[in-house]
Amino acid sequence: MYLTKDIKKKIFKDNSKSDTDTGSAEAQIALFTYRINHLSGHLKSNKKDFNSEKSLVKLVGKRRSLLDYLKNKDIERYRLIIKKLNLRK
């Protein structure tokens, strides 16, 4: 599987206050970004995998809503996560 416990721990450690902080907006956005990048690579080689394409669209929407929430709540945290994950905006 592409998303092991070790990878999740590293994602949460790098993008949140602690490695056990899995529910913060930054941690969830980082996890969604990792999954989106993986699915994008998968879809480049499997163009007819429509179920994965639908999952990708859902993940992008979830990440967008979390980013909007963070933008309205704390603009500095939003700018930091955008810069750290190298997202366009």
Please report, in tens digits, the pLDDT of each residue of the chain (89 residues total).
689 999 999 999 998 887 788 899 999 999 999 999 999 999 999 999 999 999 999 999 999 999 999 999 999 999 999 999 999 86
CA nearest neighbour of 57 among 78, 79, 35, 72: 35
Class of domain 34-89: mainly alpha
CA nearest neighbour of 29 among 72, 75, 87, 74: 87
Q: Where are the beta strands (DSSP E) in the chain?
A: none
pTM > 0.95: yes or no: no
What pLDDT is stored for residue 89 in this prediction?
62
What pLDDT is stored for residue 51 in this prediction?
96
Residue 70 identity: L
